Amino acid sequence: MTESATDTIQSGGSAATAAGSTAAVRPAPAEAIALRNVTMSFDLGRSKRMTALEDFNLSVAEGEFVALLGPSGCGKSTVLRLVTGLEQATSGEVLVEDKAPADLAKSHRLGVAFQEHALLPWSSVRENIALPFRLARRAVDWQRVDELIRLVGLVGFEKARPRQLSGGMKQRVAIARALVLSPDVLLLDEPFGALDAVTRRRMNGELARIWEEQHITTLLVTHDVEEAVLLADRVVVLTGRPGRVRHVQTVDMPRPRHADITRSAEFRAVVDHLTDLLDVDRKAE
Amino acid sequence: MRLRSPRWLNNTIGVLILITVAELIGRTGIAGRSWPPLTDVVGYLAEPVAQATVLRALTATAASAGWGLVLGIVFAAIAALLANFIPVLRPGLDRLASVLNAVPLIALAPLLITTVGRESTPAVVAALGVGFVMFVAFTAGLAGASATHQDVFSVFGSARSTTLLRLQIPVSLPTVFDGLALAAPTAILGATIGEWFGAPRGLGVLIVSAMQNYQVLLLWAAALTAALLSLAAYLIAVRLQSGAVRRFT
């Protein structure tokens, strides 16, 4: 237990020192997530197979925020599930911190928020956020839990049960839960997909603010172009099934990015460009 | 706007109708001499001697049913946990449970008399009935967590025992108490049947001997007591179930 705690401090604490000391072995910047020539196909029975991903390549650097953008059913959630270790690639290589993805989950250094919040209905907000501590069999750091409740703006709702919360609040609890152990890698699978446009926009603003505070390596899966451009350092646009990388867009607008940035000409231009790229698919269909 | 009568009122009216019809059939004698008016049965139960006889039998049956319930639940829980942690065993255990349930308890009882003895047969017959219902409830309940919940526990690196404790068991509780609402009356039925085949005491014994000696009032008193005991067990389980639903969903 002490060992894994030290690990976290080393890898998350000072990226500069870590990169400097390992420069001889591995050129910086360190690669946090790597998918190489990944193909993923599912057996549908009666000798039919569905190929979700084909020859897929993706690399996310340590401390980088990457958004996967694509039409629904293009396999972007499959990419995320491969990185969590919940699914195994049919062929190719998936590495997280140079190891098998499941290793990160086993050592409790992965944070995930799914589209369905999946909170425990019998637990309070506070207990739900503390859950990762319990699953890691560590003593709950209540200070950390309360800090996250403040961060996601749920002060006063600590004792509420999930069913008493709105959809947006539940997602904020799910994100706080994903962050509570200070994970090395954060994976977000359309966390605001089920929310209305206004709430979604506000949540995006909050996620941007939260991310500013601790630059965690993040992979976000979304079909919302504005969301991707607002949050990410790089946006990877996927083709329709089978999913391949169509385009990689670097977004170097300065941070912190506030909601007003979405009205700037530069932002609109990037959004329009990416939307066009997504539309190519639909025309082809 | 339509006014709806509250549920308790509906239930009370239903029970009153049932009692009245039974009483009328007894009074008019259209079902023969073996169907006495309910008031006569209640009157018979008010007699101290009859009361003592029925009460002694009730205590014995309730004890057997209670033991059967506990035994059945414990064995069902062990089997369900085995099936949960060793998935290879799951199909075999499912089939074993179905086969045990397919054998009529009434056919097993004489066999049990010769193996576990007259004293324990009622509890064992009760346990067999309870065991099947509870095994189904436990296995269904433990598998009841949503796929996303299971994914969340996996990505946070939860050990299987931790997932059992913090996800599967809480999720299973409403289903388990649903099972209990079926299992509790089953236990009393099982104990009573088990007593028919020569147990030393109990409501089953009372029913058989009253039948053979044509003691109609005693027969009805014993049957009524068994029914009330069964109903009480059911109501307690239902109360627990609604509590579990409120807390765990």
**Interface predicted TM-score (ipTM) of this complex, two decimals:** 0.83
Per DSSP, the three-state class of B247 is helix
CATH class of A28-109+186-285: alpha beta
Per residue in B17-69, pLDDT tens? 999 999 999 999 888 888 999 999 999 999 999 999 999 999 999 999 999 99
User: Is A4's pLDDT higher than 50?
Assistant: no
CB atoms inside a 10 Å sphere around CB A157:
18
Q: Report the C-alpha gap between A124 and A258 in whole angstroms.
A: 31
Of residues B149, B166, B248, nearest to A134 (C-beta): B166
Nearest CA in chain A to B151: A86
A188 touches A79 (CB < 8 A): no
- Nearest-Cα distance to chain B for A66, in Å, is 20
The sign of the CA dihedral B65, B69, B70, B72 is positive
> What is the model's pLDDT at position A70?
85
Which of B149, B157, B249 lies closest to A105 in CB terms? B157
What's the rounded Cα separation, in Å, for the pair B98 and B119? 27
The DSSP letter of residue A90 is S
Interface touch A108/B157, C-beta < 8 Å? yes
Structure tokens at B232: 């009480």
The confidence score (pLDDT) of residue A235 equals 93
Q: Do A136 and B157 touch (CB under 8 A)?
A: yes
**Lookup: tokens for A188:** 């977000």
CB contacts, 8 Å: A131 with chain B: 156, 166
Number of residues assigned to chain A: 285
Q: How far is B243 from chain A (nearest CA, A)?
A: 12
Q: What is the pLDDT of residue A65?
A: 94
A110 lies within 8 A of chain B by CB: yes
Residue A30 contacts residue A22 (beta carbons within 8 Å)? yes
Residue B141: pLDDT band with limits 50, 70, 90: very high
> Over 50: is that where the pLDDT of B212 sits?
yes
For residue A137, give Cα distances in angstroms to A140, B105, B193.
Answer: 9, 46, 49
Residue B151 near chain A (CB below 8 Å): yes
- Inspect the interface and report whether the beta carbons of A106 and B157 lie closer than 8 Å: yes
Residue A2, pLDDT score: 41
Distances in Å between the Cα of B145 and the Cα atoms of A118, B141, B154, B175, B219 are 10, 8, 13, 11, 47
B161 vs A: CB within 8 A: no
Q: Which fold has domain B40-248?
A: MetI-like fold (1.10.3720)
More confident residue, B32 or B142: B142
Mean pLDDT over A158-168 rounds to 92
Q: What is the pLDDT of residue B1?
A: 53
A 186-205: CB under 8 A from B: 187
- pLDDT at residue B198 in the model: 80
Distance, in Å, from the CA atom of B152 to the CA atom of B171, rounded to the nearest integer, reads 14
User: Which region holds residue A281: left if phi is over 0, alpha if psi is between -120 and 50, else beta?
Assistant: alpha
Length of chain B: 249
Distance CA B127, CA B121 (A): 10
Mean pLDDT for A108-137 is 94
Torsion angles phi and psi, residue A228, rounded to 5? -60, -45
Chain A residues whose CB is inside 8 A of the B157 CB are 105-108, 110, 135-136
Rounded (5°) CA angle A174-A228-A75: 80
Mutation target vs B (from A112, A120, A219; most B CBs, 10 A cutoff): A120
Predicted confidence (pLDDT) at residue A9 exceeds the cutoff of 50: no
Cβ neighbour number for residue A53 with a 10 Å cutoff: 25
Whether A187 shows a pLDDT value over 70: the answer reads yes
- Closest-CA residue in chain A for B162? A135
Tokens for B170, please give them: 């809480």
Q: How far is A261 from chain B (nearest CA, A)?
A: 34
Residues 6+ apart with CB under 8 A from A267: A229, A230, A253, A261
User: What DSSP element (H or E) covers B172?
Assistant: helix B169-196
Residue among B122, B113, B124 at smallest CA distance from B71: B124
Look at B167 and A120 and tell me if their CB atoms are within 8 Å.
Answer: yes
Q: What are B84's two structure tokens?
A: 């949960």
Q: Which residues of A touch B166 (CB under 8 A)?
A: 120, 131, 134-135
What's the whole-number average pLDDT of chain A? Answer: 83
In angstroms and rounded to an integer, the radius of gyration of the C-alpha atoms of chain A is 19
Size of the A and B interface in Cβ pairs below 8 Å: 60
B147 CB within 8 Å of a chain A CB: no
pLDDT > 70 fraction of chain B, expressed in percent and rounded: 98
For the ranges A9-18, A36-45, A226-235, B172-181, the lowest mean pLDDT is seen at: A9-18
Delimit the domains of chain B by residue range: 40-248
In angstroms, the CA A3 to CA B146 distance is 33
Q: Average pLDDT in the A209-231 region?
A: 89
Mutate to test the interface with B, among A122, A185, A219 (most CBs of B within 10 A): A122
AA letter at A83: V
A60-113 pLDDT, tens digit per residue, is 999 999 999 988 777 888 899 999 999 998 999 999 998 898 999 999 999 999
Contacts of B66 (CB under 8 A, 6+ apart): B187
Chain A positions touching B145 (Cβ under 8 A) are none
How near does any CA of chain A get to the CA of B171, in Å? Answer: 9
B154, A116: Cβ pair inside 8 Å? no
Domain segments of chain A as ranges = 28-109+186-285, 117-182
Lookup: tokens for B31:
């079902």
Question: In this structure, are residues B145 and B168 in contact, taking their beta carbons and an 8 Å threshold?
Answer: yes
Q: Are A93 and A141 in contact (CB under 8 A)?
A: no
The pLDDT score that the predictor gives to residue B190 is 92
Residues of B in contact with A136 (CB under 8 A): 156-157
- The reported pLDDT for the residue numbered A283 is 56
pLDDT (mean) for B82-90: 91
Strands A234-238 and A91-96: unpaired
pLDDT, chain B, mean: 91
pLDDT per residue as tens digits for the range A12-37: 334 444 444 444 444 455 889 999 98
Q: Running DSSP on this structure, what letter comes out for residue A195?
A: S
Q: How confident is the model at residue A281 (pLDDT cuts 50, 70, 90)?
A: low
Which residue in the block uniquely carries the two structure tokens 């995320």?
A: A80
Please count the CA atoms within 13 angstroms of the CA of B209 that sit on its side-chain side: 15
Tell me the nearest-neighbour CA distance from A106 into chain B, angstroms. Answer: 4
Q: What's the whole-number mean pLDDT along residues B164-188? A: 94
Crossing angle, helix B216-248 and helix B169-196, to 10 degrees?
A: 170
